[in-house]
Amino acid sequence: MESAYERGKALSEKHNPGLEEALEERYGALLPGMPQDLISFVYGQHYDRPGLSLRDRSLATIAALTALGGQTAPQLRLHIVGGMKAGLTETEIAEAIWQMSLYGGFPAAINALNVALEVFKEVS
Protein backbone atom coordinates (compact mmCIF):
# COMPACT_ATOMS: atom_id res chain seq x y z
CA MET A 1 0.00 0.00 0.00
CA GLU A 2 1.27 3.45 -0.92
CA SER A 3 2.15 5.84 1.89
CA ALA A 4 0.51 9.24 2.24
CA TYR A 5 3.79 10.76 1.07
CA GLU A 6 3.89 8.60 -2.08
CA ARG A 7 0.25 9.40 -2.93
CA GLY A 8 0.85 13.06 -2.14
CA LYS A 9 4.00 13.24 -4.26
CA ALA A 10 2.22 11.76 -7.28
CA LEU A 11 -0.75 14.11 -6.89
CA SER A 12 1.34 17.22 -6.23
CA GLU A 13 3.45 16.51 -9.32
CA LYS A 14 0.27 16.28 -11.38
CA HIS A 15 -1.38 19.33 -9.80
CA ASN A 16 1.64 21.56 -9.03
CA PRO A 17 4.78 20.12 -10.66
CA GLY A 18 8.01 20.97 -8.88
CA LEU A 19 6.32 22.06 -5.64
CA GLU A 20 8.32 19.82 -3.33
CA GLU A 21 11.60 20.87 -4.94
CA ALA A 22 10.69 24.56 -4.65
CA LEU A 23 9.78 24.11 -0.98
CA GLU A 24 13.00 22.19 -0.36
CA GLU A 25 15.09 24.89 -1.99
CA ARG A 26 13.43 27.67 -0.02
CA TYR A 27 12.79 26.08 3.37
CA GLY A 28 14.66 22.75 3.50
CA ALA A 29 17.79 24.02 5.26
CA LEU A 30 15.74 25.90 7.85
CA LEU A 31 13.10 23.21 8.37
CA PRO A 32 14.40 19.78 7.32
CA GLY A 33 11.53 17.51 6.31
CA MET A 34 8.98 20.33 6.03
CA PRO A 35 8.49 19.92 2.26
CA GLN A 36 7.89 16.19 2.61
CA ASP A 37 5.53 16.74 5.56
CA LEU A 38 3.53 19.27 3.56
CA ILE A 39 3.33 16.98 0.51
CA SER A 40 2.25 14.06 2.69
CA PHE A 41 -0.34 15.97 4.72
CA VAL A 42 -1.81 18.36 2.15
CA TYR A 43 -1.74 16.19 -0.96
CA GLY A 44 -1.53 12.64 0.43
CA GLN A 45 -4.06 13.00 3.22
CA HIS A 46 -6.38 15.83 2.14
CA TYR A 47 -6.39 16.39 -1.61
CA ASP A 48 -6.40 12.62 -2.17
CA ARG A 49 -9.42 11.97 0.06
CA PRO A 50 -12.56 10.47 -1.45
CA GLY A 51 -15.75 12.52 -1.45
CA LEU A 52 -14.68 15.46 -3.61
CA SER A 53 -12.93 15.47 -6.93
CA LEU A 54 -9.61 17.25 -7.32
CA ARG A 55 -11.48 19.78 -9.45
CA ASP A 56 -13.94 20.56 -6.64
CA ARG A 57 -11.20 20.69 -4.02
CA SER A 58 -9.34 23.16 -6.24
CA LEU A 59 -12.42 25.38 -6.51
CA ALA A 60 -12.91 25.31 -2.73
CA THR A 61 -9.24 26.17 -2.19
CA ILE A 62 -9.40 29.10 -4.62
CA ALA A 63 -12.48 30.39 -2.82
CA ALA A 64 -10.87 30.07 0.61
CA LEU A 65 -7.63 31.75 -0.45
CA THR A 66 -9.66 34.57 -2.00
CA ALA A 67 -11.66 35.13 1.18
CA LEU A 68 -8.47 35.17 3.25
CA GLY A 69 -7.26 38.17 1.28
CA GLY A 70 -4.32 39.55 -0.64
CA GLN A 71 -1.60 38.01 1.53
CA THR A 72 -2.44 34.65 -0.08
CA ALA A 73 -1.64 35.78 -3.66
CA PRO A 74 1.33 33.39 -4.15
CA GLN A 75 -0.70 30.38 -3.01
CA LEU A 76 -3.75 31.57 -4.96
CA ARG A 77 -1.67 31.75 -8.13
CA LEU A 78 -0.44 28.20 -7.59
CA HIS A 79 -3.95 26.87 -6.96
CA ILE A 80 -5.49 28.66 -9.93
CA VAL A 81 -2.93 26.97 -12.19
CA GLY A 82 -3.62 23.63 -10.49
CA GLY A 83 -7.37 24.19 -10.73
CA MET A 84 -7.12 24.77 -14.45
CA LYS A 85 -5.12 21.53 -14.77
CA ALA A 86 -7.92 19.83 -12.83
CA GLY A 87 -10.50 21.08 -15.35
CA LEU A 88 -11.75 24.41 -13.98
CA THR A 89 -12.56 27.03 -16.58
CA GLU A 90 -11.63 30.68 -16.38
CA THR A 91 -15.30 31.54 -15.93
CA GLU A 92 -15.75 29.09 -13.04
CA ILE A 93 -12.65 30.45 -11.31
CA ALA A 94 -13.74 34.07 -11.82
CA GLU A 95 -17.27 33.33 -10.56
CA ALA A 96 -15.96 31.57 -7.44
CA ILE A 97 -13.66 34.50 -6.75
CA TRP A 98 -16.46 37.01 -7.24
CA GLN A 99 -18.76 34.99 -4.96
CA MET A 100 -16.16 35.45 -2.22
CA SER A 101 -16.64 39.23 -2.38
CA LEU A 102 -19.63 38.56 -0.12
CA TYR A 103 -17.47 36.83 2.49
CA GLY A 104 -13.96 38.24 2.16
CA GLY A 105 -14.92 41.68 0.88
CA PHE A 106 -14.57 43.46 -2.42
CA PRO A 107 -10.87 44.31 -2.04
CA ALA A 108 -10.01 40.62 -1.48
CA ALA A 109 -12.07 39.56 -4.49
CA ILE A 110 -10.62 42.25 -6.73
CA ASN A 111 -7.08 41.35 -5.68
CA ALA A 112 -7.85 37.70 -6.43
CA LEU A 113 -9.35 38.58 -9.81
CA ASN A 114 -6.13 40.43 -10.64
CA VAL A 115 -4.12 37.33 -9.77
CA ALA A 116 -6.48 35.22 -11.89
CA LEU A 117 -6.16 37.56 -14.87
CA GLU A 118 -2.36 37.31 -14.67
CA VAL A 119 -2.53 33.51 -14.54
CA PHE A 120 -5.03 33.32 -17.41
CA LYS A 121 -2.73 35.49 -19.52
CA GLU A 122 0.32 33.35 -18.68
CA VAL A 123 -1.46 30.07 -19.32
CA SER A 124 -3.09 31.12 -22.60
Write out the DSSP string of 10-77. Answer: HHHHHHSTTHHHHHHHHHTTTSTTHHHHHIIIIIIIIIT-TTS-HHHHHHHHHHHHHHH-GGGHHHHH
pLDDT digits (tens, 9 = 90+) for 76-99: 999 999 999 999 999 999 999 999
pLDDT digits (tens, 9 = 90+) for 1-48: 889 999 999 999 998 899 999 999 999 999 999 999 999 999 999 998
SS3 label, residue 107: helix
